[in-house]
Amino acid sequence: MRLRWGDGAAYSHAMSADPHSGPDAESDWTDALMPVITDGLRRCRDCPLGIHTRPGLSLPAREAVHDVLDRLISVLFPGCHRHEAVPADGQDAYYRDRLREVAETLKDQIRRAYAYQYAFDGAPPPGDAETPARRAVTALVQALPRIQETYLQRDIMAAYEGDPAARSTMEVVISYPGVYAVIVHRLAHLLYEQNVPLVPRIMSEHAHALTGIDIHPGARIGPGFFIDHGTGVVIGETCVIGANVKLYQGVTLGALSFAKDADGRLVKGIKRHPDVGDNVVIYAGATILGGDTVIGSDSEIGGNVWLTHSVPPGSSVYNRQPRPLVRRKGDAPAP
């Protein structure tokens, strides 16, 4: 049969007129289409934009990185996030076995990320990816106790003490999305500091997908950090946040505008996002923008505040809330 290669509708019209197009004619029609489609996909694959994998190079696999996150968290909080019995005795063996597994998997994924970057940057040869990968994994694994003692314990207590709805610290550990997002960030940020490509962002976007909280792995965040509810929070790459800071849902710590070079291209890697001092509370929906903006310590930023300049320590910032109009229904057009 002769096929018209127009839009789908035209083609499928031709299809439906095909006397052979019964369910058992399946192979026919796909065979008829296949060469054109595969040609097209190969053509796409050859585009020079760097949006396709290269033969012989494997990218980090998202599923593997997500699994590494789960396993790292279950080493930090055994029995809290995965259904597994934690032995009363032989804890060291428990930790040792799990750390070995997770370190191997993570190193393999990070090696792929380095090898991929090297292939695109040119040198050094991909073979070298093994060394920096081991280095990064070593830094992360040996930092786990410090991450928990210096940061996570205080993050969790900040959540428990900061939320009247929290019944127990364990409820916070196993069910609070804000706590999960911060745990993932602490791990992703350490890899970001090791200049690991791709993997830290895969980690942070996994937390973003699960919590609606978007923390770039580059953000530097002090201990005792709590995000309540959290959906819609955005924290930019160059933010620096002090100790004991509390955010609510929908808070943005973002860029005010982007510098461009002579060719009109965005300049990358410069300070674009605000600094926030210690003991600051930022209420739901507040937007704070700009790399020169500094929120002084012990300040309080009200709900829906739009702030693009610095405020001194101990500030209380809020909107002159216009009391909304209240009328009997029908007396006014609906909003």
Task: State which of positions 299-318 bind a copy of itself (CB under 8 A).
Answer: 299-300, 302-307, 311, 314-318
CB 278 to a copy of itself: min, Å: 14
The binder of a copy of itself chosen from 185, 208, 221, 242 (CB under 8 A): 208
Determine contact, residues 249/232, Cβ cutoff 8 Å: yes
- Rounded distance between C-alpha atoms, residue 43 and residue 47, angstroms: 7
Report the site for a copy of itself in 244-263 (rule: CB under 8 A).
Answer: 249-250, 252, 254-255, 257-258
Amino acid (one-letter) located at 29: W
Report the site for a copy of itself in 106-125 (rule: CB under 8 A).
Answer: 116-117, 120
Amino acid (one-letter) located at 167: R
HSE toward the beta carbon, residue 66, CA cutoff 13 A = 9
Cis ω before 313 (30° cut-off from 0): no
Considering the complex, state which of residue 86 and residue 125 has its C-beta at the smaller distance from a copy of itself.
86
The CB density around residue 251, as the number of other CB atoms within 10 Å, is 25
Give the containing element (helix H, strand E) for 289. Answer: strand 287-289
- Rounded distance between C-alpha atoms, residue 234 and residue 216, angstroms: 8
Q: Does 271 bind a copy of itself (CB under 8 A)?
A: no
Considering the complex, state which of residue 108 and residue 243 has its C-beta at the smaller distance from a copy of itself.
108
Strand partners, 288: 253, 307
Closest CA to 137 of 47, 78, 225, 60: 60
- Rounded distance between C-alpha atoms, residue 267 and residue 155, angstroms: 34
CA–CA distance from 194 to each of 38, 49, 139, 189, 295 (Å)?
40, 27, 8, 9, 28
Q: Does 149 bind a copy of itself (CB under 8 A)?
A: yes
Q: Does 240 bind a copy of itself (CB under 8 A)?
A: no
Considering the complex, state which of residue 292 and residue 319 has its C-beta at the smaller distance from a copy of itself.
319
The binder of a copy of itself chosen from 222, 223, 224, 236 (CB under 8 A): 236
The binder of a copy of itself chosen from 126, 177, 220, 243 (CB under 8 A): 177
Considering the complex, state which of residue 79 and residue 125 has its C-beta at the smaller distance from a copy of itself.
79
How would you list the strands of the sheet with 306-307, edge to edge? Answer: 214-215, 234-235, 252-254, 287-289, 306-307
Considering the complex, state which of residue 120 and residue 243 has its C-beta at the smaller distance from a copy of itself.
120
Token duo for residue 128: 């070298």
The binder of a copy of itself chosen from 126, 174, 220, 240 (CB under 8 A): 174
CB 245 to a copy of itself: min, Å: 15
Closest CA to 230 of 243, 212, 208: 212
Q: Does 1 bind a copy of itself (CB under 8 A)?
A: no
Q: Does 332 bind a copy of itself (CB under 8 A)?
A: yes
Q: Does 209 bind a copy of itself (CB under 8 A)?
A: yes
The binder of a copy of itself chosen from 68, 237, 241, 290 (CB under 8 A): 237
Helix (H, G, I), strand (E, B) or coil at 311: strand
Considering the complex, state which of residue 117 and residue 243 has its C-beta at the smaller distance from a copy of itself.
117
- Rounded distance between C-alpha atoms, residue 108 and residue 225, angstroms: 31
Report the site for a copy of itself in 28-57 (rule: CB under 8 A).
Answer: 29-30, 33-34, 36-45, 47, 49-53, 55-56
CB 102 to a copy of itself: min, Å: 11
